[in-house]
Amino acid sequence: MRPIQMVDTRSQYLKIKSEVDNAVLEVLDSSAFINGPAVKEFSQNLANYLDVKHVIPCANGTDALQIALMALDLQPGDEVITPSFTFIATTEVVALLQLKPVFVEVDKHTFCIDVHELESRITPRTKVILPVHLYGQAANMEAIMAIAEKYNLYVIEDNAQAIGADFTFLDGTIKKTGTIGHIGCTSFYPSKNLGAFGDGGAICTNDDELAAKMQMIANHGQSKRYYHDVVGCNSRLDSVQAAILNIKLKHLDAYNGARQAVAAYYDKAFGSTNKLTVPARADFASHVYHQYTLLLNEVDREGLVAFLAERKIPAMIYYPVPGHKQKMFAHFNTENQELPITDWLTERVVSLPVHTEMDEEQLAYITSAVLEFVNQ
């Protein structure tokens, strides 16, 4: 059996190696390393794929979130409502910009913002709702957009884990996640569903004014060469990464399909025991399984992870400490905030390997080991 990894970027690369190698060599040959033609081409292709007006490439997903927030003319102390149950980048940029993260509880099944709790967190200082489509499952964007409209708030989607997912509105309209809020942010970190061979990120929007502003912010606040209108940053997707992403984008639906097939295998195997709750699939969105995350019901999590490790099966806890318990936010006094579902999930989740290169032998081996432990 091939060794089992959480992600297998190498095997994925080998399947498209000659095409990727040629594209990289072409960039090297042209030496158009910064803002070369591949960057423009990829941005256009991604905009077409997502069916969104503007795609602004940038250096990574964290920068994408930062640039999005910088474009909204916020004042220090303005509040951003966001889940505590997410990767730290989502909330870190809020604090970095002197804004205040206001944590909202997540839904116990989808692990995304609980839209019933959302309104109770709104204050006169609230300016932005920042939902996260965690593990590849979309938050309830239809409800979030309705609340945002009612209170005149911006919505920035953290789509780093759900690129390619479809969201279906009650009237049947389908949109890609990341294109529903005012701004969507994504990451091309190598292990993401659309992964580069290094860092990368992108911001998308249908708003012309916001697009122009974010483009300017990502480029030193520059309106024309050496004329700097606002304080910005330097955040670029480099040409080599864009050339690689251009090839991988063509495979994104197949990659997500492969992840869904892995999830279906796991779901079937684990459906037989009430010790494990398989990831919920909301009826409003497809799940693209950036992670396959089980909820353990009275199972010793550390014991399970150690048991799997002995059998050379990696398993990860995403994320062991929720935002409101992180030291970096101590000055917001968030540690005493009551987020019982977030705490409850944090103690019970475990993520199994899911990627595009898994075979049935590996899946059979993993599922039988997990079941052996939980049923013992």
> Using the rule CB under 6 A, which residue among 154, 189, 255, 373 binds ligand PLP?
189
The three-state secondary structure class of 205 is strand
Nearest to ligand PLP of 165, 369 (CB atom): 165
Nearest to ligand PLP of 100, 133 (CB atom): 133
> Using the rule CB under 6 A, which residue among 55, 58, 71, 160 binds ligand PLP?
160
Q: Is 103 exposed, middle or buried (0-12, 13-18, 19+ CB in 10 A)?
A: buried
- Is residue 201 close enough to count as binding ligand PLP by CB under 6 A? yes
How far is residue 369's CA from residue 376's CA, in Å, rounded to a whole number? 11
Stretch near ligand PLP under the rule CB under 6 A, chosen from 35-43, 148-156, 158-166, 169-177:
158-166
Both tokens of residue 347? 């103690």
- Is residue 161 close enough to count as binding ligand PLP by CB under 6 A? yes
Nearest to ligand PLP of 63, 114 (CB atom): 63
| Alpha-carbon distances, residue 117 vs 5, 77, 201, 322 (angstroms) | 37, 21, 30, 18
Q: Residue 261: which residues within 8 A CB-CB, separation 6 or more?
A: none
Name which of residues 242 to 281 contact ligand PLP (CB under 6 A): none
| Alpha-carbon distances, residue 109 vs 96, 114, 246, 294, 364 (angstroms) | 30, 10, 34, 11, 26
Give me the half-sphere count of Cα atoms (radius 13 Å) on the Cβ side of residue 298.
5
Nearest to ligand PLP of 160, 370 (CB atom): 160
Here's the x/- map for ligand PLP, 114-133, by CB under 6 A: it reads as ------------------x-
CB 164 within 8 A of CB 256: yes
Here's the x/- map for ligand PLP, 71-110, by CB under 6 A: it reads as ---------------xx-xx--------------------
| Alpha-carbon distances, residue 176 vs 133, 169, 249, 287, 296 (angstroms) | 12, 11, 14, 12, 31
> Using the rule CB under 6 A, which residue among 157, 158, 238, 357 binds ligand PLP?
158
Nearest to ligand PLP of 105, 307 (CB atom): 105
Residues that bind ligand PLP (CB under 6 A): 60-62, 86-87, 89-90, 132, 158, 160-161, 187, 189, 199, 201
